Amino acid sequence: MRRILLIITFLAASVSTFAYDDIFRRPAEVHLVVDSANVFTTEQFAALTAKLDSFERATTVQIQIYTTYYLYGYDIVDFAQRLGEGWGVGQEGVDNGIVIVCKPKTMYANGEVTIQVGYGIEPFMPDAVCKQIIDNEMIPEFKKGHYYSGIDRAVDLCMQFASDENAVKKYMAKKERSDKIIGWFESPLFRVIYSILFMSLMALIWIGASSGVTVSSGRGSSGGSSRRSSRSSSSSHSYGGGHFGGGGARGCW
């Protein structure tokens, strides 16, 4: 009886492994957007698919988007690399593929995202740059539940970096200036100046009120909203056989 149970367990594990490995088998058609997690609306899905397809036709660079709630026991980086390698994202001999895998946050688990790049893209998108894209462009949007805008921003930057070697320098320089500005506002000197100005303003308002002068102010606000769906894209192109080797970054929220 024990032997039979062992055989059944082994067969179940084998079937399960084969089922997982099927995910990494190259599809007959190109699916540059696979939205298994249903985080995109129909319009968002179509816009993202059209953008990626158009970019591939113009540059041969393939950017693969894959959203899923299930990584089947794989680490998200390992999952993305296996997907890119198995599907052959990018062109063989050039290895110009980029894979973005997003596992949305649930009430039971943190959200995870990774950007993995082919060998040919690594010089344009080193690990530090991939990390900046994830931390600055994607996760802040994901925390609001805006998966499309976070992924769309990342796609736009990937397109810039993959087609213009100076784009990375400009982006990193802009980020450095932004960090300096934020650092100034968080510095002790700024807090002292702010406190002095605030106290001076309060004193002026008190003097004005004592003199019968009315101080008034006005303001306005605006807002927007977004939403989501499920499917995978296809195009007349084919995966070229690109290879992946560890270049990229990950993040969670």
Average pLDDT over residues 204-223: 51
Domain locations in the chain as residue ranges: 27-164+231-252
Say whether 227 sits in a helix, a strand or coil.
coil
Q: What is the mean pLDDT of the chain?
A: 81
Q: Whole-angstrom Cα distance, residue 126 to residue 36?
A: 28
| Protein fold of 27-164+231-252 | Diaminopimelate Epimerase; Chain A, domain 1 (3.10.310)
Q: Against a cut of 0.75, is the pTM above it?
A: no
Q: What is the pLDDT of residues 82-110, one digit of tens each?
A: 999 999 999 999 999 999 999 999 999 99
Residues 217-243 pLDDT 10s: 444 433 344 444 446 776 667 898 889
DSSP state of 239: -
How far apart are alpha carbons 249 and 158 in whole angstroms?
A: 13
**Span 15-30, pLDDT tens digits:** 444 455 789 999 999 9
Copy the structure tokens of residue 110: 């943190």
Q: Rounded to the nearest 10 degrees, what angle do helices 147-163 and 167-185 cross at? A: 130
pLDDT by residue (tens digit) across 132-169? 999 999 999 999 999 999 999 999 999 999 888 787 77
